Amino acid sequence: MTLENMTSRFLSLLCAVALMGCAAGGSTSSSNTGAGSTDTNVNAKGGTATTLTNIEQYRPTFPAAPSASAPAAAPVAPTRHIRNEVTVLMDSVAQVQKNIRYASGYRILAYTGIERKAAMDLRNAIIQRLPEEKDYLTYKQPTYQLKIGDFFTRVEAQAALSKIQDLLPRAMLVQETINIPK
């Protein structure tokens, strides 16, 4: 006999013994009532025995909710006013955020090439379709790059790109530092 064969026979014998033990020992069922827990044991002979356990002492008790006719409690006056402190802090945060001019965002890369006239013609066509977006034409010898918009999210940039997709089929979104509009 191989080791695997012996192992499988041992496991099947063990399962058979466990099943016979469950059948001979009986079963236990439990039901829960409002006053406590009831355990019912079923014997091998078919008889039942019931045991009642009181668990009321373990249940938490809560005070009754106040009725509508009960007088309302007097409002509690605050002892420490922090409104002025919060206002000062909020003003300082607002002042710091006014000084932030740049953020990480997206732009549409509309053109990359060496012809200035082509870049300017494309720029004028894009301005007619997206007049609210700012354009950035940069020149790094010998290449012109035309980028459009200052978008905080890729979704915003994709929406603008879809408006000019027929004009610029090879345009793409690029992630870079954008100017925060004032």
Alpha helices in 2-115 (DSSP H): 3-25, 83-98
Instruction: Return the pLDDT at 154.
Output: 95
Which pLDDT score, from 0 to 100, does residue 113 have? 94
Contact 72, 64 (CB under 8 A): no
Three-class SS state of 52: strand
Q: Is the distance from CB of 146 to CB of 140 less than 8 angstroms? A: no
How many alpha carbons fall within 13 Å on the CB side of residue 120? 3
Domain-located, residue 164: yes
118: confidence class by pLDDT, cuts 50, 70, 90: very high
For residue 139, give the CATH number of its domain: 3.30.70.1070
Domain assignment present for residue 175? The answer is yes
The domain total for the chain is 1
Bond preceding residue 142 cis, omega within 30 of 0: yes
Sheet holding 172-179, edge to edge: 135-140, 143-151, 102-113, 172-179
Query: What's residue 84's pLDDT?
Result: 82
Helix (H) or strand (E) holding 150: strand 143-151
Q: 173: domain range?
A: 102-179
pLDDT reading at 3 higher than 80: no
Residues composing the chain? 182
Per-residue pLDDT tens digits for 21-78: 655 555 444 444 454 445 555 555 555 666 788 888 888 888 887 776 666 677 777 6
**Model pLDDT for residues 132-165, shown as the tens digit of each residue:** 999 999 999 999 999 999 999 999 999 999 999 9
- Tokens representing residue 75 in the block: 């409002």
User: Quick check: is 80 in a domain?
Assistant: no
Do the domain assignments include residue 85? Answer: no
Q: Is pTM beyond 0.75 here?
A: no
